[in-house]
Amino acid sequence: MLMEQERTEIVEYLKMLITHGLTKGTGGNISVYSPELKLMAISPSGMDYFKLMPEDIVIMDPEGNVVDGKRKPSSEYEMHGIFYRERTDILSVVHAHSPYASILACLNWGIEPCSYLIGSAGRNVRCTKYETFGTEELAQSALEGMKDRYAVLLGNHGLLAGGLDLPTAFDTAEEIEFCAEIYYKCKAVGEPVLLNKEQMDVIIEKFAAYGVQPEAEE
């Protein structure tokens, strides 16, 4: 099966979108890109995540042409493909309708650096203006909103996160949902104290090395 490992991984992480509280029903979508094959594996449209099999995941090229698979791909395939065409540092994209990120997106608020954890995505998280789902306009808006970042809030919609692999992209989505909750609750009772540029410089540097383990000795 073409991209079997990536397909299997996507099936497992789609279930985690539900069990980790990042979406409801069949909302959200996930993709993984293979730079060697120049193909992406992406979740199908409107299928129960707990009934999916690896063969239900669709294989496409970044331009949106189906290469393998019998299912209809996610309506947001263009929003995934544009990152694989334009950014070499993103090889997986996770889109979620997580509660607090979606609340801020409906307020058209970005997330300011009130928590150091925002460093997993960058210095802040921007919010784009509303664009209809499944359109090239939304894809372009997401790309611009995530410039120099690894997450973006889609206006009146939800959250998008990217990374070098699916575990990293998923972790970023979870971290930014947490940051969205913290920011929203801070704003509910007052004005949060924001980290300054110098503090964020240190955080960004530390996040660049976070989780990097030394190679085991022979």
- 8 A C-beta contact, residue 92 and residue 76: no
pLDDT at position 209? 74
For residue 34, list its beta bridge partners.
39
Phi/psi at 106 (nearest 5 deg)? -75, -20
CB 134 within 8 A of CB 75: yes
User: Closest Cα to residue 85, out of 42, 39, 16, 53?
Assistant: 39
Looking at residue 210, its amino acid is Y
- The CATH topology of domain 4-209 is L-fuculose-1-phosphate Aldolase (3.40.225)
Asked if 42 and 74 touch (Cβ cutoff 8 Å), the reply is yes
Q: Please tell me the distance from the alpha carbon of residue 166 to that of residue 106, in angstroms, as a whole number.
A: 26
Helix (H, G, I), strand (E, B) or coil at 41: strand
Q: pTM of the prediction?
A: 0.94
How large is the average pLDDT for residues 55-63? 96
Question: Catalytic residue positions?
Answer: 76
Cα angle: 109, vertex 118, 137; to 5 degrees:
45
| Predicted pLDDT at 208 | 83
CA–CA dist 150, 25 (Å, integer):
25
pLDDT-derived band at 213, boundaries 50, 70, 90: very low
